[in-house]
A and B are shown apart, each in its own frame.
Chain A
Amino acid sequence: MTKTVRYFAAESEPQNTEKEEFVGVKKKRLKHNADNKQHIHKKKNHNQRHVSKKIPNPNPKYPGRAPVSKELLEKHTRGDGIQKSGVKTKFHQKKVEYKDLNVKYANQLAARVEVLLTEESGILEADIGETTTQYTQKDIVKNVDITAASKHFELQLRDFGPYRINYTRNGRHLALGGKLGHVATFDWVTKKLHFEINVMESVHDITWLHIETMLAVAQKDWVYIYDNQGIELHCLKMLNKVTRMQFLPYHFLLATGNDDGYLSWLDVSIGQIVVQYNSKLGRINMMTQNPYNAILCVGGSKGVVSMWSPNTREPVAKMLCHKTAMSSLHIDPKGVDCCTKSARRPYLRHRLNNSIANLSFCPFEDILGIGSEKGFTSLLAPGAGEPNFDAYEANPFQTKSQRKEAEVKALLEKEHAKVVKTVRHQIVNINDKTNKNDVTKEKSILDRFLPKQKKR
């Protein structure tokens, strides 16, 4: 549940002093690390800092650019900056310092342009003495504008349920897969149906691939890929008895878990299996991806969530979340919090008259989609979605030509499956602390990003 909050800096002066202090602390630490030669160098800097602090503002009426608030800077930070210690020559020290300044400057600029964002996130505030949970969908729909109200709807599909649902990455299109073979996709905003078929087999899961013209359906035996007219493009016999699927968009991997506990990663751009192994968890009923590092989280029957990457055959991490079996598993879009079925405090409440099969928030909208035993319900959940999308990542208003362009671009910068890791920003930090002592390790990390060269 991301929320865009506008932070406005209060006063400029205390902010400045804080910054100075911050620099001071850093210097001290550096000094501590530095040898004698550097010591002199740093001393000089220290003096400069002292001087700059003493100069009074010649025109206090115009204090200059408003400082950026700490929270915003924190939000837009891309890692810890550049590690300056361990650089031997003065020349390169200067270079690194300059680079670090650039990184900080970029961080500030990114934080500054937040002011330009046009949309604001949805809210739901209770009056005094009331709680948000007591508002029903009816109340909410009554109190919002007509376009928003039209986003709450229900599809009654009694015959082929329960339904699995999946939104595209830009939140515009929706795919429904009924257990008894009903597969349908439509643009849920305009309610325009793309296709509707019955595959005459059981459907276990459904997921969009990188664009809305391709769709993977896990059927009774194999996984099938359909296009946006319902034409069968591929039948993937190497993925059999699949129960759950996840598409990793940046790696072009279709990750699947099957009835026997096998996990497979299929590269959809070349149609080949990257890796396939037995997780030894038995039938996989719950599987989701961490959008931040593309690691698969599998919920087991013993209340354990295990995390899997295509690079190791062992789970990268395991967590005991419940003492009993879980029934649902979700990860927030930042990839920081993982939520199994145990809400902290309810925010909204809605009663359905049949059992829920599948839940999913619609990206960039305040919508919660529910696939249930007898159809699909789209609920308004104010504050659930990110109001400001980035058109270069996912654009709900994408045209056909933009989609084509984006597909090519995305394929060109396809990540190698070996980049599926738990650590973020690792690639930029070649001078990482963990790698510092081991030069060969640095090389090996980077080598992993490319397939090995063929020997002639």
Chain B
Amino acid sequence: MKVKVITRNPDEYLRETKKDLHKAPRNYDPNLHPFEAAREYVRALNAVKLERVFAKPFVGNLDGHRDGVSCLGKHPTKLSILLSGAYDGEVRVWDIPQQICLRHFVAHDGIVRGISYNPNSTNFFTIGDDKTIKTWYADIPNNASEEEPLNTILSKTVITGISHHQTKPIFATCGEICQIWEETRSEPIHTYQWGVDSLHDISFNPVQQNLLSTCASDRSIILYDIRNTGPVRKVILKLRTNRLAWNPMEPFIFTCANEDYNLYTFDTRNLKKPVNIHVDHVSAVIDVDYSPTGREFVSGSYDKSIRIFEAGKGHSRDIYHTKRMQRVTCILWSLDNKYIVNGSDEMNIRIWKARASEKLGTLKPREKTALNYNSALKEKYATHPQVKRISRHRQVPKHIYNAQNELRTIKQKLKKKEGNRRAHSKKGKVPFVPERQKHVVKQDV
């Protein structure tokens, strides 16, 4: 007779000391795991609910400005420093983690239109409605009364926007014309013009560093090459573009915030039609900024909300709003990819988390694994109706909710009307135009 029964040596199953981890033998035999799939589904559902429970994106606000915030500026190397300019000409330097104002002074007569650091962050430039470009020391002076610009350039034309070259001591301004300046000179080294006398935004491409783009009041976006050629291309949309942001990872891609409530992503190689249209805002989009990864961008709108879009997607993945926040005037995505900062009409600067439910601070290894597991579950069950519904649901302010409904009705109406027109016309007379081709009027080369 041959006999053996199960005997387990407890030493092999219990931890030796109290500081050890508990031993956890596994056996993946499906018979030992009844309701495996159903339990996993419940876990996924819990994960997606928890994500919504922890979605508290508002970090804090910086108050101190005595008029609406008109522009914001990123520090190229320090994550904690933020610049802001206001409608009353005041400029403030902020310490974000401490949420305090380090320095403030009146820089211009009238609105501060733009702020930009130079790449080695020794100085920053401000421009205002008084047609001046002022250079300031980045270091805080010992005495607040000693706030004097390092250099003041009086321009011949109105200046509305500024953008600094990524590496060289060159910056560009826009206004009546597009001008390229060298930091040490008081006259522009180049001026460019292409049939329009009112440019309101300018931005250097951070990767393809000679490329420059401006938005003009004749609803066009103009691309320049500063090497010698000047204006290169121009695309005219149906409505005005307010602001433009280059993708920091794909130098040929830019996204523009348009007056027609949409954002358009273009490929510079083919401006005939946008690569993607990003809808969801219910009022004019005022500002846009890319995340440093180039995977996402954030937009601020006149509808008092901020939306975050994934670069390739047509709808936003999140919306931020508060009861007190008014029209958003400027927005930026911090260089550590974690925060979003926006300035708005009611004099406040708000700091938000870029991922609403992310836990701030360091994570313990177990927390990390749990979060990774949860995100894997969310991805696996993303298409299940309940999971989808919960993860997509956002509570929006009433005015946005109503506007969304209104816009939907208008869209349906137009669609129906077009259908009717097509049905009662000769074949081919009312052609089907893809949505992406509807918004571009023409492209000039």
Residues of A with Cβ closer than 8 Å to B?
Answer: 2, 4, 75-79, 110, 113-114, 117-127, 130, 135, 139-140, 143-145, 147-148, 151, 250, 291-294, 333-335, 364-366, 380, 382, 385-393, 395-397, 399, 402, 412-416, 419, 425, 427-428, 430, 443, 446-447, 449-450
- CB A129 to nearest CB in B, in angstroms, measures 11
Is there contact, CB below 8 Å, between A390 and B26? yes
| Complex Cα gap A351–B338 (Å) | 73
Is there contact, CB below 8 Å, between B28 and A110? yes
Out of A397, A425, A430, name the residue touching B13 (CB < 8 Å): A397
Out of B3, B37, B46, name the residue touching A425 (CB < 8 Å): B37
A121-B6, A250-B39 as given contacts; A447 in contact with B385, CB under 8 Å: yes
Provide the B41-57 mask, 1 if CB < 8 A to any CB of A, else 0. Answer: 11101100000000000
| Complex Cα gap A77–B34 (Å) | 13
Can you name the residue of chain A whose Cβ is closest to the Cβ of B9?
A147
A75-B29, A415-B39, A428-B37 as given contacts; A450 in contact with B386, CB under 8 Å: yes
Provide the B176-209 mask, 1 if CB < 8 A to any CB of A, else 0. Answer: 0000000000000000000000000000000000
Out of B12, B36, B45, name the residue touching A78 (CB < 8 Å): B36
Can you name the residue of chain B whose Cβ is closest to the Cβ of A109?
B28
| Complex Cα gap A140–B5 (Å) | 9
A397-B10, A397-B14 as given contacts; A389 in contact with B27, CB under 8 Å: yes
Within 8 A of A (CB), among B1-39: 1-8, 10, 12-14, 22-39
List B contacts of A366 (CB < 8 A): 5-6
- CB B286 to nearest CB in A, in angstroms, measures 34
Is there contact, CB below 8 Å, between A413 and B43? yes
Is there contact, CB below 8 Å, between A124 and B3? yes
Is there contact, CB below 8 Å, between B12 and A118? yes
List A contacts of B32 (CB < 8 A): 386, 389-390, 393
Can you report 18 A-B residue pairs in the complex whose CB atoms are below 8 A from each other? A2-B29, A75-B30, A113-B26, A114-B29, A121-B6, A125-B2, A140-B5, A145-B7, A151-B5, A294-B35, A386-B29, A388-B27, A389-B27, A389-B32, A391-B23, A414-B42, A416-B42, A449-B45
A250-B39, A413-B43 as given contacts; A123 in contact with B2, CB under 8 Å: yes
Number of B residues with CB within 8 Å of any CB on chain A: 39
List A contacts of B392 (CB < 8 A): none
Is there contact, CB below 8 Å, between B4 and A123? yes
| Complex Cα gap A148–B10 (Å) | 13
List B contacts of A415 (CB < 8 A): 35, 38-39, 42
List A contacts of B37 (CB < 8 A): 78-79, 425, 427-428
List B contacts of A127 (CB < 8 A): 1-2
Can you name the residue of chain A whose Cβ is closest to the Cβ of B33?
A393
List A contacts of B4 (CB < 8 A): 120, 122-124, 144, 382
Is there contact, CB below 8 Å, between A382 and B25? no
B413 on interface, CB distance cutoff 8 Å: no
Q: Taking chain A's interface residues, is the majority helix, strand, or loop, or is none over half, making it mixed?
A: loop
A127-B1, A130-B1, A382-B5 as given contacts; A117 in contact with B27, CB under 8 Å: yes
| Complex Cα gap A388–B33 (Å) | 13
List B contacts of A365 (CB < 8 A): 6
Can you name the residue of chain A whose Cβ is closest to the Cβ of B35?
A250
B295 on interface, CB distance cutoff 8 Å: no
| Complex Cα gap A387–B24 (Å) | 14
Is there contact, CB below 8 Å, between B28 and A113? yes
| Complex Cα gap A389–B13 (Å) | 11
Is there contact, CB below 8 Å, between A147 and B7? yes
A118-B12, A333-B31, A447-B386 as given contacts; A148 in contact with B5, CB under 8 Å: yes
Within 8 A of A (CB), among B344-395: 383-386
List A contacts of B1 (CB < 8 A): 124-127, 130, 135, 139, 143
- CB B32 to nearest CB in A, in angstroms, measures 5
| Complex Cα gap A413–B33 (Å) | 13
| Complex Cα gap A119–B42 (Å) | 32
| Complex Cα gap A33–B25 (Å) | 44
| Complex Cα gap A388–B31 (Å) | 12
| Complex Cα gap A388–B28 (Å) | 10
Out of A148, A380, A392, A419, name the residue touching B38 (CB < 8 Å): A419
List A contacts of B41 (CB < 8 A): 427-428, 449
- CB B316 to nearest CB in A, in angstroms, measures 22
List B contacts of A78 (CB < 8 A): 30, 36-37
| Complex Cα gap A423–B7 (Å) | 36
| Complex Cα gap A385–B14 (Å) | 21
Can you name the residue of chain B whose Cβ is closest to the Cβ of A125?
B2
Is there contact, CB below 8 Å, between B35 and A430? no
Within 8 A of A (CB), among B190-240: none
List A contacts of B6 (CB < 8 A): 119, 121-122, 148, 364-366, 385, 387
